[in-house]
Amino acid sequence: MRLRTKLTLLPAMLVTGGFVLLSGTVYVNARRSLEKSAERLLHQQAEHLISETEQRYQDELRKMTNWSAMPLVVATALDDRNEALVNAFEAYFDPVRKREDYSAIFLMNLEGDCVACSNRIRLRHSYCREVVSKTSTARAAMRGESSISEIVLSMASGRPTCPITVPVWHENRVVGVLRGTFSPELLSDAITNQMRIGHKGRAWGFCPGLDMKLPEGHVLHDPLSQAAYIPPELPIPAVPLATRHAIFRYVDDNGAHLAAVHQMEHPKWAFVMTQPMEEVLAPVRAIRHATLTVTVVFLALFLIGMWALIKPTLRYIESCQRLAMDIQGGNLAIRLSVESEDEIGQLARSLNNMADQLLENRQELQAAEQKYRTIFENAVVGIFRVDMNGVVLAANDALARILGLQSSEEMIGQKVPQSYVDKEQRRFLYTALMSHGEVTAWEFDVARMDGTPALIQIHARAEKTPEGDIAAIQGVVEDITEQRKAEQAISRAKEMEQLLTEARLTALHHQMNPHFLFNVLNVIDVLARTAPERIPYLIQELARYLRYALIPRDGTATFLHQELEAIQSYLAIEKIRFEDNLLLEMDVEPSAEQAVIPDPLLQPLVENAIRHGMKTSDMPLRVCVRIAKKGDDLCIEIRNTGKWLVPTGKMPNTTGGVGLENLLRRLDLLFPKRHQVKTSEQDGWVTVRILLPFTEKIDSGFKWETNT
């Protein structure tokens, strides 16, 4: 064999064999990498589905709890024979049921009867008393415990359902049970429809082990409008269903598939995510085809070039080798001179183009690095990366500012656990990262370098070793201290507005109390026969009292003398009513009459003094009202003979629920740490003493925004 032939065939065979071996190795490794990546992706997406589903169930539990506290629900539970309330319950919760994917929302009394429902067909149905009311969750709700039940087959609709049961409270006692049957399949469909797994991947949600058999002869009394429920037929082996999560493969008529199954603990629900292996391995198959094509073309060109131009080829190969070594060494400034248009000349041109492309890529990478470094350094949220021991590996200036440092350079190499106010928080964070690999929106209390507290929100992801240990943690930190303060301020304002509304409604109820008006009419009837000359005086006082009571007033405050006028009219009426059985004493310092007080303040206290004093005091009942200015404070003291009807320190509630606790809360919001309320019972006298900041400006200290 001629040397030229040997120099042509031997390199061709060696190059071709090496190229095939390298391509085969790359193909095998790429296939494994793609499969592992697909498994991790399926695992992460399944975990995300489980996490989102668990959060949705907790949201539904909180939603049911909020519904149970609605005045409509409480009122219906207290008066379940009131047709108007039952109709109002149905009118409100029927749209809610349709909108919120509930098959039914109904109210049970403590005897187990369905007394109100979003679907009237279930009212007083025997199934509720005989079956539903005897379940463990219903019994627990009657004891005051909320719960999410396991998924069962609904005897009403014939579909999987997850009952959520919460107690209905009134005055610290359970008066009913609110129960909603939530559709897990609709929730599962809503979540999985948002999930994308490649182009051909699919996701299913189902309840493993759900008994789909209805009792023989059972008739669905509340079927839904959807088609009959059919559990998905999935080729899941028994082993994955026996574990909480697993990765497995299966083959069907469409070929091989990669799948992940994850299960929730409570309620029992599972998600299966699949992706065809054909789609998983599509990139590596393209590489295989491209490799084969390139190999054939390269071999043909190589043989032709070696056969025709062995000597120039060897020289060109040496030049190309030197250029390749320069490129490998990072020297991208050298270029080959292209002396021919044959394959080796094209190789030289390709190497030149490669060097040009690498040089361009290097410049783009440098620009990108500078760009992202600028973003990293100028971000408004803190960015960090720490090792397992809490030593800072990387941080930006925003994080340094959050922790009270001048720059991120002060943090590098330092340990961050010392910033935690509660050291247990760090342990909880690491536990969550070990379990889930990432945490989102975790809130922590930290101490800045100057000792001032701060509330931060952290989003972090764990970098794990092949053994599953945490090697490093990276994430972002946001200072939400001011945000939480603003939310608390809004909450305080809403609470104050609610208390004011309750106080005014209660005051109006007192003012328009039918018993009070009946008593006045009875007094007029008596005076008409015994002392008709006193009737005009009584009517004048009643008119003055009602004028104050019925005139609409804006704001939260009124002048003291305005409420005193109404109180004096009220006391005059009560004096005519009780005559010698009621002795009144009112001592108001003139300088205090222009003081501004919360509206209402005196009226419920004076009415309580008379109402409860008449029940507990020896006759005659004595009521004393003393108001004076003491320094910068307004002192209000209301005393009556008798005793408390409840333990000392709690105000007897007036009709409607306005008592000392309501008053204390309103004063706390209006005058935080600037007022006093003291009650006492001594020597046959009950005393309520209030100290408020004295002001004559009706807009001073009585606007919600000034105290938030």
When pLDDT is cut at 50, 70 and 90, the band that residue 506 belongs to is low
Planar angle of CA 207, 210, 212, nearest 5 degrees: 125
Q: What structural domains and CATH numbers belong to the chain?
A: 1-209+231-308 (3.30.450.20), 379-477 (3.30.450.20), 487-707 (3.30.565.10)
Q: Which residue has the higher pLDDT, 406 or 114?
A: 114
Q: How far apart are the first and last CA of the chain?
A: 99
**Residue 241 pLDDT:** 65
Helix, coil or strand: residue 422: coil
**Residue 639 pLDDT:** 94
Percent of the chain with pLDDT over 90: 18
**Residue 187 pLDDT:** 78
Distance CA 398, CA 628 (A): 55
How far, in Å, are 125, 240, 263, 348, 411 from residue 208 at the CA level? 30, 11, 9, 64, 50
640: nearest Cα among 662, 661, 620, 664? 620
Mean per-residue pLDDT of the chain: 79
pLDDT digits (tens, 9 = 90+) for 533-548: 888 888 888 888 877 7
Report DSSP letters for 92-119, one per residue: HHHHHHHHTTEEEEEEE-TTS-EEEESS
pLDDT digits (tens, 9 = 90+) for 87-111: 999 999 999 988 887 888 999 999 9
Cα-flanking dihedrals φ and ψ of residue 68, to 5°?
Answer: -65, -25
Half-sphere exposure of 213 (CA within 13 A, CB side): 3
CB 355 within 8 A of CB 332: yes
377: nearest Cα among 399, 393, 392? 399
When pLDDT is cut at 50, 70 and 90, the band that residue 296 belongs to is confident
Planar angle of CA 455, 457, 458, nearest 5 degrees: 135
How far, in Å, are 506, 663, 664, 707 from residue 659 at the CA level? 10, 6, 9, 22
Q: For residue 648, give the amino acid letter.
A: T
Distance CA 347, CA 338 (A): 9
pLDDT digits (tens, 9 = 90+) for 314-354: 666 677 777 778 877 777 777 777 767 776 677 778 878 88
pLDDT digits (tens, 9 = 90+) for 636-685: 999 999 987 764 444 444 333 345 677 777 788 778 788 888 989 999 99
CB 570 within 8 A of CB 603: yes
pLDDT digits (tens, 9 = 90+) for 588-646: 999 998 999 887 788 878 888 988 899 999 999 999 999 999 989 999 999 999 987 76
The yes-or-no verdict on residue 285 having pLDDT over 90 is no
**Residue 107 pLDDT:** 94
Distance CA 274, CA 682 (A): 78
DSSP label at residue 656: T
Distance CA 39, CA 339 (A): 51
CB 557 within 8 A of CB 698: yes
CB 698 within 8 A of CB 553: no
Strand order in the sheet with 245-252: 202-206, 269-276, 255-264, 245-252
Mean pLDDT value of segment 418-430:
74
Cα-flanking dihedrals φ and ψ of residue 161, to 5°?
Answer: -145, 150
Q: List Cβ neighbours of 287 (8 Å cut-off, separation of 6 or more).
A: 26, 27, 30
Within the chain, what is the greatest distance between any pair of CA atoms?
A: 150
When pLDDT is cut at 50, 70 and 90, the band that residue 497 belongs to is low
The neighbouring-strand residues paired with 693 are 633
- Encoded tokens for 144: 């005051």
Mean pLDDT value of segment 146-159:
80
DSSP label at residue 480: -
Q: For residue 95, give the amino acid letter.
A: P
173-177, 301-305, 499-503: which is most confident: 173-177
Distance CA 319, CA 310 (A): 14
The yes-or-no verdict on residue 10 having pLDDT over 90 is no
- Encoded tokens for 359: 């040089």
**Residue 635 pLDDT:** 95
Q: List Cβ neighbours of 307 (8 Å cut-off, separation of 6 or more).
A: 4, 8
When pLDDT is cut at 50, 70 and 90, the band that residue 141 belongs to is very high
How far, in Å, are 8, 396, 402, 416, 504 from residue 374 at the CA level? 54, 10, 19, 24, 58
| Strands annotated E in 337-399 | 382-387, 392-395
When pLDDT is cut at 50, 70 and 90, the band that residue 179 belongs to is very high
The pTM of the whole model exceeds 0.85:
no
